Structure formats: C-alpha cells, structure tokens
Structure 1
Amino acid sequence: MTVDVPDDVRGALARVDRLPALPVSAHVAVFEEVHRLLDGVLADLDGLTATPPIPVTPPGPVTPSRPADAPGRPRA
C-alpha cells in the first residue's frame, strides 16, 4: 500500500481485512459500513457532505387499477 492513503481509507480497508474471521452473515454489515466510510471520504474530497444510504424497502401490496366491483368487470 502506498504511504499517501488517507487514514479513513486505511480504516475501511482494515475492516475488509477482518472479513475472513467473521461469519458470512456479518459480511453485509461490514460492506455497508465500508461503503458508508468510503462515501464520506469521497464526499470530503468533493467538498460535499455524505448522503445517508437510501433504505431498501420491500414493494408494497399490488393494488388493482380499478376496484373489483367497477363496471365492465365480470363478477365471479
């Protein structure tokens, strides 16, 4: 590794280096943390503030385009 790597990046890489000692189920949390750290480093380089990650939400229930009792729809 080169000498001019920022400490924040070194810290993120150190977290990745710990992956082999962790259970696979913990890897996602480490990757998310590393992503957040590196996003902050890049934002600092750009002079911006890091944006929080967008939460992933499951899709909601599918709603029909019109109610079941609407005209033009046969009743069962």
Structure 2
Amino acid sequence: VTSAAQTQSETPTGKIQFVVNGKPYGSPMTLKADGTLLSPQSSRLGVGTHVIRAEYSGDAIFGPSNSSFTHEVTAAP
C-alpha cells in the first residue's frame, strides 16, 4: 500500500493557541519557519479527561482553523 500527500508550496505562518477544557492554556505560540510548533508541556494537567483544542490564527494564505482531541491523564501507580 502506498499513499501520497500533496501540499502547497507555502509554509503557514501565524500563531497557535492551545485551549484545555474551554480555557486558554498558555499564550499563543508563533509557528517556526518550517511551519511546526512544539506543544506546551501538559504536566500541569490534573488526573481526568481533558478536551484539548489547537486554534490556528490563519495568515495571508491559510485560513484560520482548529482541531480538538480528548486526552486522558491517569494517576501514577
């Protein structure tokens, strides 16, 4: 099985704001020159289920967007 992805030649710029359980998590972070970003540490999240959303601000080429996922934190044994 093979797969291919086609991308635009432009690299997104702008900022990402992480939101945890409906509240901003840290400050908006600027994307690196290659369009990547290291997410903030999640060690401050308490035990339980957390909804995490990344909100992209958009730029002159790419529109704003967001994506969410659920993250489960369990207590250490």
Q: Which has the higher helix share?
A: 1
Name the TM-score class by shorter chain.
Answer: under 0.3
Q: Which structure is higher in strand share?
A: 2
TM-score normalized by the length of structure 2: 0.22
Q: Which has the larger radius of gyration?
A: 1
Relative contact order (alpha carbons < 8 A, sep ≥ 6): 1 or 2 greater?
A: 2
